[in-house]
């Protein structure tokens, strides 16, 4: 075989190997020169996914990731309306189930779990210790809206504890609750444990006991209308890989 022929054969073998890697989800690489993907993700995933996106881009051979964060319920509606999304990650299985029901996503897989916590001002000046304290007169409490996963879970926790709370406002997503508390516009709010960690030294968290807490399971799926399914699938696999799980754990999620 001529030198040119041997070179062509070698290149063909390399291409076959790359295709096999993508098809099997092996390794940490996505196709070279890949087009960008857009990931629609629950707002509570912001810090973890920002880091995952950066690490994925470093190992994915030219892939670029853009994130659209928001309330899971809103994201599902947007994807259903044809928004240009490649991956969808929600903060509970019920909301992802809506996307499955209308056929906009492939089969989802749970990749992380989260717990609820009470977010209070730095130093906890109101002395909030339990869910029952949120019902105290004069306390300004904010919650997520009922149609949002953090709102449903928060109400379930309050129901378990037998506590009735009249919130000052119902927020569109959990980051809005976090913001109201850290800005001093509210005394407390029910958020996820990861949001307490993300708040850093601007606020504090109060644990909710196991018998009153609600564990949220986070599923992720590729969007059927994705124009770059290979990279979308590679991103999902990275989230579920050891590297992805390590980043999620650092952000406060459990496996």
Q: How many H-runs (helices) and E-runs (strands) does the chain carry?
A: 9, 9
Q: Rounded to an integer, what distance in angstroms lies between the CA atom of residue 68 and that of residue 86?
A: 11
pLDDT at 236 over 60: yes
pLDDT at 166 over 90: yes
Q: Rounded to an integer, what distance in angstroms lies between the CA atom of residue 152 and that of residue 241?
A: 29
Q: What is the pTM of this model?
A: 0.84
> What is residue 20's predicted lDDT score, i.e. its pLDDT?
36
Q: Rounded to an integer, what distance in angstroms lies between the CA atom of residue 90 and that of residue 236?
A: 13
Nearest to 90 by CA among 219, 253, 238: 219
Kindly indicate the confidence band of residue 95, based on its pLDDT and cuts at 50, 70 and 90. very high
CATH 3.40.190.10 domain position(s) in the chain: 33-113+218-250, 114-215
pLDDT at 16 over 50: no
Strand partners, 190: 118
Domain at 33-113+218-250, CATH from 3.40.190.10, 3.60.20.10, 3.30.420.40, 3.40.50.300: 3.40.190.10
Helix (H) or strand (E) holding 161: helix 149-161
pLDDT at 89 over 50: yes
> What is residue 33's predicted lDDT score, i.e. its pLDDT?
53
Strand partners, 39: 67, 87
Mean pLDDT value of segment 88-95: 97
Q: Rounded to an integer, what distance in angstroms lies between the CA atom of residue 251 and that of residue 210?
A: 20
Mean pLDDT value of segment 78-92: 97
Runs of H (alpha helix) within 189-228: 193-199
Handedness of CA 43, 47, 52, 55 (dihedral sign): positive
* CATH C-level class of 114-215: alpha beta
Q: Rounded to an integer, what distance in angstroms lies between the CA atom of residue 104 and that of residue 224?
A: 6
| Residue with more model confidence, 246 or 5 | 246
């Amino acid at each position: 075989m001529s030198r040119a022929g041997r070179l062509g054969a070698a290149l063909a073998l390399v291409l076959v190997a790359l295709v096999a890697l993508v098809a099997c989800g092996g390794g940490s690489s996505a196709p070279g020169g890949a087009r960008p993907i857009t990931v629609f993700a629950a707002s509570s995933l912001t810090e973890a996914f920002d880091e995952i996106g950066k690490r994925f881009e470093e190992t994915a051979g030219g892939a670029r990731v853009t994130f659209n964060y928001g309330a899971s319920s809103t994201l599902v509606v947007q994807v259903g309306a044809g928004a240009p999304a490649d991956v969808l990650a929600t903060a509970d299985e019920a909301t992802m189930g809506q996307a499955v029901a209308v056929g906009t996503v492939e089969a989802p897989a749970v990749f992380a779990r989260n717990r609820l916590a009470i977010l209070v001002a730095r130093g906890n000046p109101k002395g909030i210790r339990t869910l029952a304290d949120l019902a105290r007169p004069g306390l300004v409490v904010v919650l997520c809206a009922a149609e949002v996963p953090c709102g449903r879970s928060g109400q379930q926790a309050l129901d378990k504890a037998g506590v009735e709370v009249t919130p000052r406002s119902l927020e569109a997503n959990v980051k809005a609750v976090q913001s109201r508390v850290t800005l001093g516009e509210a005394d407390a709010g029910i958020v996820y444990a990861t949001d307490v960690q993300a708040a850093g030294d601007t606020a504090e968290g109060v644990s909710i006991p196991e018998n009153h807490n609600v564990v949220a399971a986070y599923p992720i799926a590729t969007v059927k209308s994705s124009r770059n399914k290979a990279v979308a699938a590679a991103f999902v696999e990275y989230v579920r890989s050891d590297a992805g799980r390590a980043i999620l754990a650092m952000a406060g999620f459990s496996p």
